[in-house]
Amino acid sequence: MRTKAILYVLTALITTVAVALLLVTQQSTEPRTPKPMNLTTQDNKTILISKVKIHEERTKERRQVEEIAKKRPIACYYLMNIDLKKLKGRTFEVMIIEFEEGLGESGVEYLKHHCRLLLAYINFGYAEDWRDYWSKIRNATWIHEPTEYEGEYFIEYWRPEWHNIVIEKAVRAHELGFDGVLLDNVDACVVLKGRNQSWIQGLNLTQLMIDSIHSISSRLRKLCGRSFKIFVNIGSAVKLLGNEKFLNAIDGVLREEVWYTTSNNRTVTVPPEETEYVLKYLIHARNRGKVVIVADFVDSIERAREFMDRCWRLGFIPIPQPVWANDYSEPPPREWCDLDPS
């Protein structure tokens, strides 16, 4: 009898547990009705304002792209053997010029009649031994080994002494009549990372570049006015365009070799994955209201037209640079840019 009683109790317990587990399982699988959000009038107003802002921003971005596509602007990057006669009868949206070629005020005035925005070239990432500052800094401890280009040297670009030199040159360009500057080689921060030199150990080279460009931009806007434009040649440091501090310090960006590069005076297609990666950051900069210029090396009028169309569709300004002048010793050929021949 005692054994039967025990079995009866155990059976009852097992049944009770099984029923309880079944109820729990049913409850967990039944869809739950979400609790309504108790939004206040202010919450609804905030959400509405946010949606309106997003719509306005996207509309503005779309109009900017459409305007570029309609205008079909072209830029010119002219650094060596500058011959003003080659620019006669031509007009560019943006011109980037090596301003220490003895142009003078009259030369600058001539150039300004051939473009809407005239930028002076300044090598920010590296020092060059043919510049007028070289005799003053050649023995400085912050000047280091040569780069792969003759006469060019790695430097500690974050040094105040170097910033002062760059500021002095930019102010000189402003006084000559330039509308702004292009600071070249800001990707020195990326190049240096791969060199493993003792003098860069423990340094955050990316942050030093961001802080440097921000500092120079702030100083130039005070000295030359906010209408003085700051552009950068971003090179391999496109990720800098994702940094708000950096982006707020510039007005525009140049990137070379987005779709096409060059080898043996022939056009070579850039790997698609690299193009996609670069475009992500350039489009982000464009959406933030920055002017985006792309310089690719092309070897025919057909390739040039294809390249320019790609740029315009994305709201970029193209520089169809001929492969035989990949040192920017010539402007883009006239016939490539003559879109409406008479």
Single-letter amino acid, residue 133: Y
More confident residue, 59 or 316: 316
The predicted model gives 326-332 an average pLDDT of 97
Q: Give mean pLDDT, residues 173-179.
A: 97
Mean pLDDT along residues 218-247: 98
Question: Which of 144-158, 234-248, 266-280, 326-340 shows the lowest per-residue confidence on average (mean pLDDT)?
Answer: 326-340
Residues linked to residue 323 through DSSP beta bridges, in sequence order: none
SS3 293: strand
**What residues contact residue 86 under an 8 Å CB cut-off, 6+ apart?**
330, 331
Please list, residue by residue across 72-82, b when 16 or more beta carbons sit within 10 angstroms of its beta carbon and e when fewer do.
bbbbbbbbeeb
Q: What's at 295, amino acid-wise?
A: A
- Residue-averaged pLDDT of the chain: 88
Please report which confidence band the pLDDT of residue 32 belongs to, taking 50, 70 and 90 as the band edges. low
Domain positions in the chain are 55-328
Long-range contacts of residues 48-56, Cβ cutoff 8 Å, at least 24 apart? none
Per-residue pLDDT averaged across 28-57, rounded?
61
Distance CA 112, CA 108 (A): 6
CA atoms of 181 and 101, how far apart (whole Å)? 15
pLDDT value of position 62? 63
* Identity at 110, one-letter amino acid code: Y
The neighbouring-strand residues paired with 296 are: 320
Nearest Cα to Cα of residue 251 among 267, 227, 268, 235: 227
Average pLDDT (11-20) is: 48
CA distance 94 to 253: 12
Q: pLDDT above 90 covers what percent of the chain?
A: 75
Mean of the pLDDT values across residues 256-268?
96
Q: Hey, what are 118's tokens?
A: 């005239």
Topology (CATH level 3) of domain 55-328:
TIM Barrel (3.20.20)
In this prediction, residues 298-317 reach a mean pLDDT of 98
100 closest CA partner among 122, 124, 69: 122
Give the pLDDT mean for 17-28.
46
pLDDT digits (tens, 9 = 90+) for 90-99: 999 999 999 9
